[in-house]
Amino acid sequence: MGVAAAVVGSKSRCLRRWLPRAVMEAGVGSPTGEALRRLGTLRFDNRALRVLPLDPCEENVPRAVAGACFSRVRPTPVQNPQLVALSWPALALLGLREPGTPREEAELEAAAALYFSGNRTLPGSEPAAHCYCGHQFGAFAGQLGDGAAMYLGEVLNPRGERWEIQLKGAGLTPYSRQADGRKVMRSSIREFLCSEGMFHLGIPTTRAGTCVTSDSVVVRDIFYDGNPKKEKCTVVLRIAPTFIRFGSFEIFKPPDDYTGRKGPSVNRKEIRIQMLDYVISTYYPEILQAHPDNNIQRNAAFFREVTLRTARMVAEWQCVGFCHGVLNTDNMSIVGLTIDYGPFGFMDRYDPEHVCNGSDNNGRYAYNKQPEICKWNLGKLAEALVPELPLDISMPILEEEYNAEFEAHYMQIMRRKLGFIQLQLEEDNKLVSDLLETMHVTGADFTNTFRLLSSFSVDSDPSSLENFLDKISKQCASIEELKVAYKPQMDPRQLSMMLMLAQSNPQLLALIGTKSNINKELERIEQFSKLQQLTTAELLSRNKGHWKDWLLNYRVRLEKELEHATDAGAWSAERVKVMNSNNPKYILRNYIAQNAIEAAENGDFSEVRKVLKLLEKPYEDTECYGEEPAEEEDVAAAAAACSSRGSSRLPYSSKPPLWASELCVT
């Protein structure tokens, strides 16, 4: 029995059944008038379509769309839509309340499958696709747009809040290019779970209300290796104040000097003005109120706020080890949200150069480059706002405020993660830097290491330190894990040719962008060679030495905190509370998502729903299992043993099994 199937029969204290047997046997599975009425009461006010220009052509074929921000479309129905999972916290944003009985729940789920698959249109909804452009991997790509997403409208909830809802994967639009407008189960489940998981981590993000699969299929070549397979069409209901992005303002771009591509609405200055007026008045009303008579000052204040929000957002990514994977300008929210979950990933073993996207061959969007890339993207937004906001105003804002905001927010979070609740010292920056370097050289698990630090004692008793070193060493990479991480990736003949090219024609090598790849490969070869001679005992001793050095400095810093506390016991309790509320126990690791996906592809949606419930409480010491939490030694042993997919189940908070390193997301 595979890992994904091993949990089908397990009971869970955290998860109540979604469709109790009595309800299923009663034949409830189709929406009733009451369920449809509840969805039909959503109050739409589709301001974007009233204010921004609409494409006059309603032909739903891939084409260039000039002079418009939206094109009207219709979702393409799917066969036999089935609800994989839904998030009531997200649907509550729309004013939908959780049902009170299992029958009501089953009926509403059936209605959700019908409407949020695109098979039926909600009253007041006006499906449309948004036109935008983007710089992809640094190069301007021209018109992109909602090739697989559809704006349904803007819902005003009972509190007067405005929420745009979208269907992702609902079929063809004018922006689908050579694609089919569909998404499949694996990508949809990942986006659904991560959208909600990021929200409950406290990170600005778009939300996901439902995930609906079907019996309709499309063909996908997952790894682009000539082995396509059929996969089920799946649709995600996405929710956000707006899905307008940096690339929305790039539709006016003149021909690019490098690619020659241009935006579809070049020279349409009046539309750019309309878009700025719309975005600022709708999503930044306080800025409009502060600058009612000076558009340049208003636009500068708008750009400053987008800059600050973006800096804070990426700082929060870095603090939980989140890698977006595709930080193109078309994947950057104009209101500072994490948007468009594709080949994302949370780091397991800490590596500052971690690349989560298997297609990012040059590591442009590596973990440590995310702050720099977001700043670069803001520069492209600044260019797109000219002449409504001149560069001599926007660029100084970017240069003077982005880095400062990022660093201040990053250190504010890091201090909480380390339990520094009394003082803010200059030396904290170096302590954080040294911690990350220690995690790097020992291959420590990013999430679990931070979580474990809350149990570190200020007590100077040597036995206390030794006990903690035993615990933290279990979060460091084993020799087997390191061998996988540093396994050479290039064919020796290819590497030899590249090295000869480096000697004979270094300019050409730099032009094709492989110099850094060669250096990394040489480093992998060197590290892999050293690992062949290293014993487990030697690795353990080395790791403990690194951690002892850092922990002694950490203890000195904690003692300074303690000196400023009036009550040592209260300070200690508050420190643990603050640390545990800033260091998650649960994140959406790739292997956890993969187990849920494989179960769902086999018709079992319970694992998706179980993981969703777990991610709704990422900071709590709860485990969605029938068994009691395992001892650390048992978990470590299980992780080491799980070298194949058929091995026993791990707790969701453990280091990933060895087979997880083979997962590739593109």
The pLDDT, as a whole number, for residue 498 is 73
How far is CA 157 from its chain centroid? Answer: 26
218 Cβ contact partners less than 8 Å away, ≥ 6 residues apart? 180, 182, 184, 230, 231, 233
CA distance linking residue 596 with residue 109, whole number of Å: 20
CA 417 to chain centre: 20
428-439, pLDDT tens digit by residue?
999 999 999 999
Strands (E), 343-396: 345-346
Residue 64: its pLDDT value, please?
Answer: 96
Assign 593 to helix, strand or coil.
Answer: helix
Give the pLDDT confidence score for residue 631 in this predicted structure.
Answer: 52
The answer to whether the CB of 188 falls within 8 A of the CB of 236 is yes
- Answer with the residue of higher pLDDT: 641 or 504: 504
Nearest partner of 325 among 338, 346, 344, 350, judged by Cα: 344
In tens, the pLDDT along 386-411 reads 999 999 999 999 999 999 999 999 99
Q: Token digits for 63?
A: 């084409």
Q: Residue 549 catalytic? A: no
CA neighbours closer than 13 Å in the CB half-sphere of residue 85: 28
Exactly one of 55, 146, 330, 445 is catalytic; which is it? 330
Q: What is the mean pLDDT of residues 598-616?
A: 97
Q: Nearest 5°: CA angle at 17, between 16 and 18?
A: 115
Tokens matching residue 97: 């309340």
- Positions of E strands within 384-506: none
Helix (H, G, I), strand (E, B) or coil at 1: coil
CB-CB contact of 215 with 79 (8 Å): yes
The one-character DSSP state at 154 is E
The first and second tokens of residue 653, run together, are: 């908070």
Average pLDDT over residues 272-289: 98
Which has the higher per-residue pLDDT, 180 or 529?
Answer: 180
Q: Identify the weakest region by mean pLDDT among 6-10, 107-111, 317-321, 430-434.
A: 6-10
Average pLDDT, the chain: 90
Contact 8, 606 (CB under 8 A): yes
pLDDT tens profile 70-118: 999 999 999 999 999 999 999 999 999 999 899 999 999 999 999 999 9
Query: In the prediction, which pLDDT does 503 show?
Result: 75
Residue 510 predicted with pLDDT over 80: no
Least confident of 100-109, 111-120, 326-335, 517-526: 517-526
> What's the token pair of residue 416?
């909480």
Residue 24 near residue 105 (C-beta atoms within 8 A): no
**Once rounded to an integer, what is the mean pLDDT over residues 312-316?**
98
Which parts of 459-514 fold into alpha helices (H)? 462-473, 479-485, 492-504, 506-511
The DSSP 8-state label assigned to residue 482 in this structure reads: H
Place of tokens 């034949």: 27
- Determine contact, residues 193/615, Cβ cutoff 8 Å: yes
3-class SS of residue 390 = coil
Indicate the helix (H) or strand (E) that contains 139: strand 139-143
- The yes-or-no verdict on residue 475 having pLDDT over 80 is yes
Burial class of residue 58 in the structure, from the number of CB atoms within 10 Å of its CB (0-12 exposed, 13-18 middle, 19+ buried): exposed
CA atoms of 116 and 607, how far apart (whole Å): 21
Token pair, residue 314, equals: 């990426």
Kindly compute the dihedral angle of the four CA atoms of residues 557, 562, 565, 567, in this order, to the nearest 10 degrees. 160
Classify residue 307 by burial, with Cβ atoms within 10 Å: 0-12, 13-18, 19+: buried
DSSP 292: S
Residue 306: name the closest of 366, 253, 377 by CA: 377
DSSP letter assigned to residue 630: P
| Cα distance between residue 376 and residue 138, in whole Å | 9
Does pTM surpass 0.85? yes
State the pairing for strand pair 229-240/183-184.
antiparallel
Gap between the Cα atoms of 424 and 633, Å rounded: 36
The single residue listed with the structure tokens 């009461």 is 41
Separation CA 56–CA 60 (nearest Å)? 12
Provide the pLDDT confidence category of residue 649 given band limits of 50, 70 and 90.
confident
CB distance 378 to 338 below 8 Å: no
Alpha helices by DSSP H, listed for 385-486, are 391-417, 428-442, 446-452, 462-473, 479-485
Query: pLDDT per residue over 210-223, tens digit each?
Result: 999 999 999 998 87
pLDDT of residue 628: 43
Residue 32 has a pLDDT of 67
What is the predicted pLDDT for the residue at 190?
98
Residue 547 CB partners (closer than 8 Å, separation 6+): 438, 442, 469, 472, 473
23-31 long-range contacts (CB < 8 A, ≥24 apart) are 23/102, 23/103, 23/106, 24/106, 26/103, 28/103, 28/106, 28/107, 28/110, 29/106, 29/110, 30/107, 30/110, 31/107, 31/108, 31/110, 31/111, 31/114
Contact 116, 34 (CB under 8 A): no
d(Cα 151, Cα 72) in Å, to the nearest integer?
9
Q: Do 200 and 616 contact (CB within 8 A), yes or no?
A: yes
Please give the structure tokens belonging to residue 44.
Answer: 């739409």
